Structure 1
């Protein structure tokens, strides 16, 4: 698009005038330096606050940005540390579980090596959910040689006996069950009785005559006379004795040695129990 001639003339005229003014100011400044310094100072007084404000704003924005970046970095590092801590806690938990399991299996192996009887180790896979019976389920059955009535132990301690046996699993009637009855013996005085479960951690030792001397803290073991449990397995300790009860027998409460709710692994005695006397290998230990 063509520019009109009068506009070109006007542009040239303005440019020439600005050039002349610039030359004039340059010449004047060179002849009057004091006036130049005064003008520069005046301009600096006007511009300085603006520069200072701009610098403050710049520093503030820079500080906020750096703080944000630093905070973001700290948060990211914190997330990494928390993730690492969680991983270490999981590793520690697994190591503790392996340690506990290793100890439990070593105890079972030591027990198996200390007696000459065939055994089958089984893991507990379930607990009876009702209040009517005290039973647990294990992951072994008749395919593994298990039969109803076989005794179940945890080391040298009585757990119960097999009540139901399937192909690959079985139920164990615990010593704490109401229907459980175990021929028992007071280890110190040799007084005999029948240990009857009550559904709790306290069982009742029945049919101990008042003439027999028994005391709180005495250990109760299996007598082997019921044909189910071999002699000498640890059952529990006497918790209370009442000789003033009616009748011929003492009222004796026995605290069972095992906490059945914590059972994880048990051992079924599948061999001939008549050939084993655990009282010769029972070392006096008890398990809570």
Structure 2
């Protein structure tokens, strides 16, 4: 039988011997390390590590966790162990602009993104035909000031029922409440059509055009109660000129947004992103 691949991510206070403790236990299991990344944040003395390794097909996640327990307890590690063969489940939220959604679906279709879309949720009907063509469940839930809390609870139930590992705001033009943002912390990624921290909020391309910027971009970040201020995962910029209109900025931005969001989702699903306070550690 083919070997099994696991991904271990861990964080703890930095001390000598962390890497040796982990790799020694993995070696005792007969593991073959395929990839290892680590980072020491000297300001906070925090240590972060991602390690991908192969073991015999007979080795179970519980076997790995038991083998690592002495090291985990010794260094008081926060750990997550993932079976790489298990396809992550994603729930995609979209409003009227569907370019980011379509790019995600394409990258899944060609195998670049290893994920299963469990449903698409929208506050408009525009993407229903796309969902039907892909054989995906589509939920159109209008959101207003009067029913916002009810619809957010409905969304949380759907996350639980589908077992979604990640919620993706693919140009979903509704602001999460503080309650929902907190309950999905670290499990919801938004694409903001601006190179944050500049031009937060509505119509950022038009804001950028008014300021005469020479670079525009997009930012994928985790959702937090602070609007457009969540820990940043991925960004990209592209040069523009005074000759372009605000609509040209928007058109250029659509391509950037699609690429940035897909890369951020891939990094997250492959356990390459670790939260570090208001920032992220990204092992690319």
Fold shared per TM-score above 0.5: no
| Larger relative strand fraction | 2
TM-score by length of structure 2 reads 0.31
More helix as a share of residues: 1
